[in-house]
Amino acid sequence: MLTNLLLKLTYLGAEWILWLLVALSILSIAIILERWFYYWRTGVDADELGDQLQERMRKGDLAGAWQLVKDRHTASIECGVVAAGLVSLRGGLHAASEAMLSAKSRMRPALDANLSILATIGSNAPFVGLLGTVLGIIKAAHEMNMAAGGHDPGTVMSGVFEALVATAVGLFVAIPAVVAYNLFERKVRTRLAAVDSLAHLVLANAAVEPQPADPPKPSAPTRAL
């Protein structure tokens, strides 16, 4: 009974598999566009930010350092981590370090969001397409047996050609998803490295005493009259 039920399902062919692959393709494209826009919208020039931050902190200008990151500290992970460290400096270097680690852990999921879905689509879409091909071949063989005489090679070959479309579509869905996933993973690693660099920069310059631009010259001793 179960075997007959499964056979009836396989006789449906690869049509529903193709619709599933189309849905996965739309989902994959939506995630790629969303991730690209997110990284573009929240990206900062870490080198420029680091230079400006170091310059202000060496002068003891914490207010100026805060101005560099205050407008984007809720969106950009780089600015958010630096802002957390600057706010917590009043409690000491250890408090600032812990605050920056906390901010990094809190904001990191926004960088990784939906990448696991993209990886799942990229790794499984070929198998979904292969399933469609197998179902299509089974359906073609069944139709050949049901045809008059049961010896029409054109019927089965036509069904095989149609079934191979599912494999091609599966690869078409998988390849862009895998490429985009690898690029986005590299982007995440790059930005996390920039976050660590900025955090260490804050800690390294937090204890530096501001140096006066022109140290006062010693006054000449006065002579008694």
Whether residue 216 is contained in a domain is answered as no
Q: Is 219 domain-assigned?
A: no
Is residue 158 one of the residues assigned to a domain? Answer: yes
Would you say residue 3 lies in a domain? no
What pLDDT score does 91 carry? Answer: 86
pLDDT less than 70: residues of the chain: 1-14, 142-160, 207-225
Q: How much is the pLDDT for 210? A: 45
Distance CA 105, CA 77 (A): 10
Residue 27 lies in a domain: yes
Render pLDDT for 93-128 as a digit per residue (tens, 0 to 9). Answer: 889 999 999 999 999 999 999 999 999 999 999 998
Q: What pLDDT is stored for residue 211 in this prediction?
A: 45
The closest of 75, 180, 71 to 121, measured between CA atoms, is 180
Is residue 4 in a domain?
no
Side-chain half-sphere CA neighbours of 224 within 13 A: 0
Domain count for the chain: 1
Query: Do the domain assignments include residue 209?
Result: no
pLDDT of residue 4: 61
**CB crowding 166-201: b at 16 or more within 10 Å, else e:** bbebbeebbebbbebbeebeebbeebbebbeebbeb
pTM given for the model? 0.79
The domain in which residue 51 lies consists of: 10-204
Model pLDDT, residue 118: 94
Asked if the structure places residue 167 within a domain, the reply is yes
